[in-house]
Chain A
Amino acid sequence: MMAHGPTTAAARPVAQAATREGYGQALAELARTNPRVVVLDADLSKSTQSAVFAKACPDRFFNLGIAEPNMMGVAAGLAASGKIVFASTFAIFATQRTMNQLFQSVCYPRLNVKIGASHAGVTVGEDGASHQAIDDIALMRVLPHMTVVVPADAVEARLFTLKAAEWEGPVYLRFGRAKVPVLFDEGHEVEIGRAQVLREGGDVTLVACGVLVSEALKAADFLAAEGIRAEVINCSTVKPLDGETIARSAARTGAVVTCEEHSIIGGLGGAVAEFLAENHPVRLRRIGVRDLFGQSGKAEELLEEYGLTAPHIVRAAKELLETRR
């Protein structure tokens, strides 16, 4: 079944929005609709957009200062007392600085803590390597009980944040700083754990998440111009992985390219490779940061520098198809 989404370049909307904006919109809605929701931040509420909730609902917002480990512990205690807690900060601090807290206090007791992680990936831009989370999906994916969601645009970011509030247990929500294309209209429907085929094609499968979904769609256009029909799967939930949808496509195409703004180690590419190697081995290439640190630059420059744009996806797809012949 085809989801709402673009199928041609002409249909693609030009509107741009950061996924973190979708997070802020959803928190504003939850402030009105769900009295169980409590939001925390670690001195980055304007950047993460949690300030929107703080303004709407100051009695249920707590700034914990620059103390992320304590923030995750406080989140766990609130969740153990019946709250649905959104703990917000930059992705790099939400994961690396709190790994042991998420393991012990959040995931082990399977508490209702949702991590709203903004500024993920290299599109953080000028702040450089210290602020660019390129391993956060890998870190979160390895935690038992953790669900990992990477929305493709601001619409999905809003919808998945609302879904996370209803989901039982910990959820990692990955958002970006930079404005990226809005791919979906308001009628878009999402479900945690379900990947969506955005474009059908029988020659090669492009499995993408986050900002790379729009690049994968562009790549499919380029490939189509050369007579190669690419199937594009939006894999917004990296864990639990929708292996069924991916395997069904891989069975038809026999060639898979994964696309993510993340290390090629342990993220979407790792998850898909693990699943396919065990269940349906096919030729596979991973588009991602190739075991490197980030650096300063403009978002679009960095996407190009690290090989995360449509032309790189096209090249990987064509290489795969050549080795098949």
Chain B
Amino acid sequence: MSSKNPVRKAPRFVAEVDEGGLGAVDAVRVSDRKSNLWLDAWRDLRGRWMFWVSAVVILFIVFVAVFPGVFTSAPPNDNCILTVQTQAQAEEFGVPVGTRISNHGPLPGHPLGFTKQGCDVFSRIVHGTGTSLSVGIIVTLIVAVMGIVIGAFAGYFGGWLDSFLMRIGDIFFAIPYILAAVVIMSMFLRERNIFIISLAIGFFAWPATARILRSEVLRVKQLDYVMASEAIGVSKFRTMFTHVMPNSIAPVIIISTVGLAAAITAEATLSFLGVGLPANVFMSWGNDISAAQGSLRTAPQTLIYPSIALSVTVLAFIMLGETVRDALDPKARAAR
């Protein structure tokens, strides 16, 4: 007992017993709707306008990439003319013979004008969507797979494997991936295609993902359920795949959406620098922006419209990444 001098005799108070009684201790009360991390995240996403805006924009971009013919009938690369020379061409474009089509402004059927080569800007943007998007997706997949595998093995098995893999990661990390991609693309002058450029970008971008996954794996692997799983007799590999990886993958999904945007930009950058995809074979926003630099003053439309397409796409993926991050983070969810 406390040795203090009692100041007073406290009055005794006993509350009325609640009408419902005490109830069973720790009675199971599960709500009608199920819930887990991903379900909760989805419920949260549903209520965010930013998610819907970015999702609609991305779906639209994917649609454009898959079915470019729906949006334009003008060929992006063929039949480009610098000057209207024949009567047939004059009727087609609705301008007199002798008009310069190169860098010309909008004409009926060609809403965004023409490039220096006399190709339809709108058509080139529409047909370039597929290239930019494929590069983005392939790079993201390469980065995610390499990052997840290397990060998970390094984090979960630790020891010398961890040191070895992470030092390799540091070496790659030290080389700016744009610089590395420039070097690699210069080596493949003839074989340049979507896969080569994606590999060139992705092969040097994985260390960031690997680091994030590794730190998450380090956190998850000391949780009791991982130990419990091993004690039950689950093998180390199976524990890693069934318990550790699914629980540490969330941050990778988040940075992947942002990384996808970065990959699209990287392709555009490489094309702009002239080491990307060959302009005469692949329509790509980066190529168009690169080609437009010479005629910026006289024909700004050749630069502005591909840039807008690039920005909107990148913005949509970044917005998606932001909302997914907030939805997967219970703390951010509570603060809303």
Note whether A and B form a binding pair: no
